[in-house]
Structures are given as C-alpha cells and as structure tokens.
Amino acid sequence: MQLHSRVFGRGVVALFCATLLLSACGEKKVESEQRSLDFARLDAFPSTYSVSQSRPVLIQGATLLTGTGEQLENTDLLLEGGKIAQVGKDLKAPEGALVVDGRDKWVTPGIIDVHSHLGDYPAPSIESSQDGNEMTSPNTAQVWAEHSVWTQDPQFPLALAGGVTTLQILPGSANLFGGRSVTLKNVPGRSVQDMKFPGAPYGLKMACGENPKRVYGGKGTSPSTRMGNVAGYRKAWIEASSYKKKWEDYVKNGGDEPERDLGMETLAGVLNGDILVHNHCYRGEEMAVMMDVAKEFDFKVSTFHHAVEAYKVADLLAENDVCAAMWADWWGFKHEAFDMTEANIAIVDQAKACAMIHSDSGVGVQHLNEEVAKAMTAGRRAGFDIQPKDAVAWMTSNPAKALGIEEQTGSLEKGKMADVVVWSGNPFSVYTHVDQVFIDGELMYDRADEKRQPRSDFELGILNAEGERQ
C-alpha cells in the first residue's frame, strides 16, 4: 500500500480505465481492477477545454450525411447540452433554441484532420516558427507536439471555415520516432490546453522511408538506409519493453524506484495500449514490415499516414485492422510518392480497411470535402459504387476511429459531441460553402455573421492597423 501510494504520488500509476475513454476499455472490464502504469502521463498538461452552450440548436429539414453510412433527407437535428440530442423528423425546438433553416442545406459531422501541423508549422512560415521537427536525433520520442503549438496560428480559423472541428497535430517526419502528437478541438485558445480534446488518447509519430534516412544518413549517422530505419525501431522497442518491465517489476515487487525517461514513457505508453501509433509510411512493403514490427513487440499501429501505396496492401491493412490516411492526388515529390493512384482511398475502403483523407497542409485542410469528392470520383471511375453517404466517413468517422475518439465524435448519432457542419449544399462540390460550424453545440463559425468568425491575435492590425487580415 505504501508502495502504491508513493507511486500514485508521482502520478505514474492510475486505474487502467479511469481517465481513458478508449473503446477497448469496454472489453477490458475484467482487468479493470488491475492497476496499470500511466506511462502516457495523461494528467501532465490537462485539457482546460470548455464550451459554454448558451442554447440548444435545431437544424430543420436538412439533408444529413450521418457518417454511419446513411443519407437522411428532410431531417431535423437537435443539439442540446453540447451533444447530439436527436435525429429525426418534425422535432420540436426547445425554448430559446437557435433554429437553423436547413432546407437546401446539407449537414455532416465536423471534419477531422488526422494529419496536421498547424501551430507547429504556422503561417507565416519563418525560420523562428519552424517548431515541428526536432531534427537532432532519430529517436525524439520524448518531445510532445503540443509544446510547440502556437495557438494564434491564423491557419486554425481558416481550417474552421473549411468545416474542420478536430485536428491531430503531429511532430514532423524527420525522425524514426518524432514524438508525441496531440488532438485539438479547433477553437480559439490562449493556451494549447484550452484546445486539447478532452480524453483523447495521445499518439506517437513514427516515420518510415526516405525522410529519416535522408536526414541522418546525410549527417553520416544511422539510419542511412531503410534497413537502418527498421533496426532503429526494433532497438528502441527492445529498450521500451525492458523499461516497461522494470516499472512493472517495481510496482509488483518494490525496491528502488526506477528513473523516469520521457522518451521511454511514450514508447511504453504505446506498449500498454494508451498511446496510438501514427506512422508516416508511403510504401506497401514498408507498411507490411511495420505491421510485423508491431507484432514482434505486441503493439498496434493505428494508422499509416501519407499511405500513397496503401492500395497495394489494402487486404493486409484490413486483416490487421490498421487504418490508412491518404491524399486524393499528391504525388511525385519523392520516389516513395511515385506510385500514386487517385483510386487509393476507394480501393482501401472497398477492401474493408479503414480509409481516410488527410491534409498535411494549411491549404488542403480547408478543402478536405473537395479532396474527398475527388477520391470518391476516382473510386466510381474504377467501378466502385461509392456515394456521398459512404465517402463522408473518410473525413469524419474514420479519422475519429484512427484517433481513438470514435465514441465521442465523428458521426451524427445521439449522444455524440455536437460537432456539426452545415453546408450550403452538397459538400462534395467545389461551389459549396461551409455555412456554420458547431463544436460541442456552440456556434464557432457563421459565414453570414462576421462576429462569429474567429480571428487569431496575429490577424489584428497586420495589414491595416485599424482592421483585420482579410
């Protein structure tokens, strides 16, 4: 008991399910009495995110793409207490509700970008703000992307105007282990904690292929080859396994308290299932290797990012329950991005693997609906029957799954967070605008009302001392 309280005192041990909202928790109920080590350090920089739901919202008579494979015509959506309260016909507006005329409008869940560097690579892009890649060692698992986030990056409000309600901010891809990611709600915040998605698990950024070997090989250090990359991952996982065991032995048997290691905590957090692996990996061969590395060390890859060749191994991804985050049509900037097909997302989706769009770009993040539209069209041209009700999942429910927040957001289902976009029409058209964005039921963006369009500090008085950046 004394031992445990001491460890608790340091915040290393927590009840396995106490703070996590992972779907896996339900299945692990049997073990819920068992104490697990909190390598993820979930309480170190706690979320201070909050919204003030001033009033309920009723969107009437819209076309809903639910994110669960349905398109509902002429349907109402009621948001109450920050949650989706009801989906149905002829719903009554509660007293004081904001009523949105949804005729001719389409409604989707808020868009989730699983791959963003906003805040870490902000605009303007100047030397002093390049905070996304700790390019000093191939393993920088100890860094946390949230500690670089400049909350006043003007790209956040631009992404909001594109319907993005949630983003994962990742470290860059120079290193085998780039560090820890953070999932943010796209709201104005004075601190990054003000934006942190409550209860979202952390991610670990890993990178395959050309980048690590170019950066470190170029310095005459390891890795300089793809095989060097893999040796680097395995070496680190061996160390992490032993670190994890050392702490487990300590909790079980007592003795001298082991020394904390920030990098090892992140890797051990992956090994005990608290932290999700987000792996920059272009090539099919490398994805297959990484899934075997995961098996060797008994962890799971959540998602391959920039998975330009995911279509080549789509069946393997499905078999291993690994997601792929892809672009619609970027290619050719590197050799590992040479084998692009525009049908990539569709092929992965049709193989029953979890497929999604991602941006990695301050421009692309504003047009993810258009990127999905292109990918959907490519899928149809390949002969697949893919409708908007299916494709919407590529920017909503599937990225929610990749981030381990699918119980909370990503679909228009009762009880989910009221993260909702009202579109001027079919979202899969270049001419359609985002009319309104609700996050946890609060109107965060309104195209018709400049007062409900947030501006970052940076945008005030920047081109015109008396105005805002246009």
Partner 1 sequence: MKRVVVFCAFALGVLAASAQAESILIKGGKVHTLGDKGSLESADVLVVGGKVEQVGPSLSVTADRVIDAQGKVVTPGVIAPVSELGLVEISAASSTNDQSVTGESIGSAFNPLPAYNPKSTLIPFNRAGGVTSAVVFPGISTWDDGAVEAQRVFAGRSFAIKLNGEFDSVEAKDVAQKAYLGEAGAQLAGGSRANAYAKVEKALSEAKEYRENRAAIRRGEWRELDYSLADLEALQPVVSGREPLVITANRASDILGAIELAKAFSVKLVVLGAAEGWMVANQLAEAQVPVVIDAINNLPISFSSLGARLDNAALLTKAGVKVAISGPDYASTHNVYLSRQSAGNAVAHGLPYEEALKSISSNVADIFNLQGGTLEQGAVADIVVWSGDPLEVTSYPEQVLIEGEPQSLVTRSTRLRDRHLKPTKGHNFGYQY
Query: Which residues, numbered 112-171, are part of the site for partner 1 (CB under 8 A)?
Result: 123-126, 154-155, 158
Contact range with partner 1 by CB under 8 A, out of 30-38, 181-189, 252-260, 423-431: 423-431
Query: Which two structure tokens, joined as six digits, stand for 218?
Result: 């170029």
Residue 400 within binding range of partner 1, rule CB under 8 A: no
Three-state DSSP state, 142:
coil
Residue 343 within binding range of partner 1, rule CB under 8 A: yes
CA 406 to chain centre: 11
Computed on alpha carbons and rounded to an integer, the radius of gyration of the chain in Å comes to 22
In whole angstroms, the minimum distance from the beta carbon of 132 to partner 1 comes to 13
Cβ–Cβ < 8 Å for 14, 38:
yes
Kind of pairing between the strands at 323-326 and 301-305 = parallel
Among 217, 377, 407, 446, binds partner 1 (CB under 8 A): 377
Contact range with partner 1 by CB under 8 A, out of 21-29, 61-69, 296-304, 428-436: 428-436
CA 417 to chain centre: 16
Backbone angles phi, psi at 129, to 5 degrees: -115, 15
Closer by beta carbon to partner 1, 124 or else 220: 124
Query: Which residues, numbered 233-292, are part of the site for partner 1 (CB under 8 A)?
Result: none
Contact range with partner 1 by CB under 8 A, out of 13-21, 136-144, 355-363, 412-420: 355-363
In whole angstroms, the minimum distance from the beta carbon of 134 to partner 1 comes to 15
Among 194, 257, 261, 342, binds partner 1 (CB under 8 A): 342
Closer by beta carbon to partner 1, 41 or else 213: 213
In whole angstroms, the minimum distance from the beta carbon of 334 to partner 1 comes to 4
Residue 335 within binding range of partner 1, rule CB under 8 A: yes
Specify whether the backbone of 416 is left (phi greater than 0), alpha (psi in -120 to 50) or beta: beta
In whole angstroms, the minimum distance from the beta carbon of 381 to partner 1 comes to 7
What sign for the dihedral angle of Cα 352, 354, 359, 360?
Answer: negative
Among 91, 330, 455, 460, binds partner 1 (CB under 8 A): 330
Closer by beta carbon to partner 1, 30 or else 126: 126
Residue 364 within binding range of partner 1, rule CB under 8 A: yes
Backbone angles phi, psi at 224, to 5 degrees: -125, 0
The amino acid present at 388, given as its one-letter code, is P
Query: Which residues, numbered 24-53, are part of the site for partner 1 (CB under 8 A)?
Result: none
What's the rounded Cα separation, in Å, for the pair 347 and 379? 7
Kind of pairing between the strands at 323-326 and 355-357 = parallel
Closer by beta carbon to partner 1, 113 or else 370: 370
Q: How many degrees, rounded to 5, is the angle at CA 97 between CA 96 and CA 101?
A: 135
Among 292, 381, 387, 414, binds partner 1 (CB under 8 A): 381
Distances (CA, A) of 292 to 38, 222, 300: 26, 22, 10
Residue 224 within binding range of partner 1, rule CB under 8 A: no
What's the rounded Cα separation, in Å, for the pair 300 and 400? 17
Contact range with partner 1 by CB under 8 A, out of 62-70, 83-91, 223-231, 425-433: 425-433
Query: Which two structure tokens, joined as six digits, stand for 50?
Result: 């909050």
Among 28, 433, 447, 452, binds partner 1 (CB under 8 A): 433
Among 332, 352, 414, 449, binds partner 1 (CB under 8 A): 332
What's the rounded Cα separation, in Å, for the pair 54 and 346? 41
What's the rounded Cα separation, in Å, for the pair 391 and 370? 11
Residue 354 within binding range of partner 1, rule CB under 8 A: no
Closer by beta carbon to partner 1, 170 or else 347: 347
Query: Which two structure tokens, joined as six digits, stand for 269?
Result: 């957090």
Residue 389 within binding range of partner 1, rule CB under 8 A: no
Contact range with partner 1 by CB under 8 A, out of 38-46, 178-186, 285-293, 461-469: 461-469
> Total residues at the site for partner 1 (CB under 8 A)?
57
What sign for the dihedral angle of Cα 264, 270, 272, 276?
Answer: positive
Which DSSP helix (H) or strand (E) runs through 181? Answer: strand 177-185
In whole angstroms, the minimum distance from the beta carbon of 451 to partner 1 comes to 19
Give burial (CB, 10 Å; 0-12/13-18/19+) of 369.
buried
Among 30, 430, 448, 465, binds partner 1 (CB under 8 A): 430
What's the rounded Cα separation, in Å, for the pair 115 and 330? 15
Residues engaged in binding partner 1 (CB under 8 A)? 123-126, 154-155, 158, 210, 311-316, 329-335, 338-343, 347, 350-351, 361-364, 366-367, 370, 373-374, 376-378, 381-383, 428-433, 458-459, 462-463, 469-470
